[in-house]
Amino acid sequence: MIDLQKSKAAFEEARKFMPGGVNSPVRSYPHMGCPPPFIASAKGSHITDIDGNTYIDYVGSWGPMILGHAHPAVISAICKAAENSTSYGAPTLKETEIAELIHSVYPSIEKIRMVNSGTEATMSALRAARGYTGRDKILKFEGCYHGHGDSLLVKAGSGAATFGKPDSAGVTKGTAKDTLVTPYNDIPAFKAIMDAEGDEIAAVIVEPVAGNMGCVLPVPGFLEALREETAKHGTVLIFDEVMCGFRTSSHGAQSFYHIHPDMTCLGKIIGGGLPAAAYGGRKEIMACIAPDGSVYQAGTLSGNPLAVTAGIETIRQMMNIPDLDKKLAEKTSALLEGWKESADKAGVPLICHQSGSMFGIFFSEKDVLNYQDSCEANAAQFKAWFLSMLDQHVYLAPSPFETLFMSWAHTDEDIERSIVASRKAMEEAAKATTGVKDATVNFMTLKMNVEFEEGADAKAVMQDVLKNCKKVEDDCEIFL
């Protein structure tokens, strides 16, 4: 196993001062049985931890690093901007520049407000939609993650799903009652809710390409149905493109699928790795936002000069690369074809999904169209594959409910090395089972007799098995 001694010690120290030793839960490597590598530096497609291990990085800070880490032009622009101070709390020309630039890339964003995170973008967009329509209810899709705003931490994906807490504690029943949830890609279920309650729904918010239940693509007609039904009921359609923006295509998922949303949320790439995000859309909706309108939203560091500079430079560099979308998609397809071949050779069922330069895999025999399908994928095989890839210096997302990212900096050699590593990793996955040989259950007494294979990690196995049990009630406490 890779030497993570210094990371292990750093993790123990960090846990003394921060919940889980991290500033965002998924970074803690939940259920992986190894400490998270503490990162020292990164350059291009490679990332190096404090033990001196260098990896090929397909996390890319969860999306922003589309050019690769420490792109010289981006770093130089940030350094130059920093010489003029790091923040003013006053309007700057750069903010108008990024607003115009984003409008040129996303014409549906007629007016925009810069904020500091994707969470802030989505919660502000929802407030705008509620202020514009005068309605309270919102509709989201199970497994989609839109940040940690209270209204949206209902049946959420990403870390909420990873930790088996799709409905977060601390969200009041009063808040959650206004959030309706329906399965992603289920057109009849969506239409039924809209028929019943559409005139009371302020906004439908969706990841047009979902990246937080693993990478799940919209089925034909799904996004069209959202557009048609929301228009019919005067409901605001919000595309959360914080992740798929600039990834599905340089002009986002809305351009790729030819759907014109009422509002769009962006993040990650528009800050070039610094804290910047945005929400925007139709002029008449954005007219509700203070100081023009009565929907209040503000931020000390919104439109921060360094973050905006990094975002502008990142987008401009992308726009200067001929056929960027096509070339990034080709790199991604080549990697997935190699991983699929390695899975087939090892006799491991594997589903590969790709949307431009974002991608993901599922250890599953059947296709994955929604959150439930994603939960039924084989977690034990994912874990075995993940740990073997890490051991071979390939740095991936430590959860099957996340998505991976290709960058312009990834070379053919990186891709070939990642394919070779997968051959061994898939052999490890083939050996991995849930570890449950036999189980008899008597629910009346809540007693389970389970026989485990030699060496199986009983607690982890049972948590994975029970997480997938369809009949476990939400309020069921599980004591292992």
Provide the binding-site residues for ligand KE4, judged by CB under 6 A.
24, 26, 62, 117-119, 122, 145-147, 158-159, 207, 211-212, 240, 242-243, 267, 277, 402
* DSSP β-ladder status, 179-183 and 137-142: parallel
Q: Which is nearer to ligand KE4, 354 or 434 (CB)?
A: 354
Listed residue (423, 402, 318) closest to 353, CA to CA: 402
Residue type, 162: T
For residue 268, indicate whether it is catalytic. Answer: yes
Q: Residue of minimal CB distance from ligand KE4?
A: 118
At 125, is the secondary structure helix, strand, or coil? helix
Smallest gap, in angstroms, from Cβ of residue 332 to ligand KE4?
18
Smallest gap, in angstroms, from Cβ of residue 149 to ligand KE4?
9
Q: Which is nearer to ligand KE4, 186 or 207 (CB)?
A: 207
Chain centroid, CA 99 distance in Å: 24
Smallest gap, in angstroms, from Cβ of residue 212 to ligand KE4?
5
Cβ atoms within 10 A of the Cβ of 369, count?
19
Chain centroid, CA 374 distance in Å: 14
Token pair 């809305």 is found at 254
3-state per-residue secondary structure call for 278-319: EEEECHHHHCCECCCCCECCCCCCCCCHHHHHHHHHHHHHHH
Distance CA 218, CA 422 (A): 27
Smallest gap, in angstroms, from Cβ of residue 412 to ligand KE4?
27
Residue type, 253: A
Catalytic: which of 186, 240, 373, 414? 240
Q: Which is nearer to ligand KE4, 158 or 434 (CB)?
A: 158
Distance CA 36, CA 396 (A): 11
Q: Which is nearer to ligand KE4, 113 or 146 (CB)?
A: 146
Record the tokens describing residue 465, joined without a space.
């098995």
Question: Exposed (0-12), middle (13-18) or buried (19+): which is 427, by Cβ within 10 Å?
Answer: middle
At a CB cut-off of 8 Å and minimum separation 6, what does 130 contact? 136, 138, 202, 203, 295
Q: Which is nearer to ligand KE4, 36 or 267 (CB)?
A: 267
Which residues partner with 295 through β-bridges? 289
Catalytic: which of 145, 184, 257, 371? 145
Record the tokens describing residue 399, joined without a space.
């959860």
Q: Which is nearer to ligand KE4, 311 or 435 (CB)?
A: 311
Q: Which is nearer to ligand KE4, 130 or 140 (CB)?
A: 140
For residue 240, indicate whether it is catalytic. Answer: yes
Listed residue (195, 43, 173, 157) closest to 399, CA to CA: 157
Smallest gap, in angstroms, from Cβ of residue 236 to ligand KE4?
17
Smallest gap, in angstroms, from Cβ of residue 92 to ligand KE4?
22
For residue 262, indicate whether it is catalytic. Answer: no
Cβ atoms within 10 A of the Cβ of 392, count?
18
Smallest gap, in angstroms, from Cβ of residue 415 to ligand KE4?
23
Distance CA 245, CA 314 (A): 13
Residues with a known catalytic role: 145, 240, 268
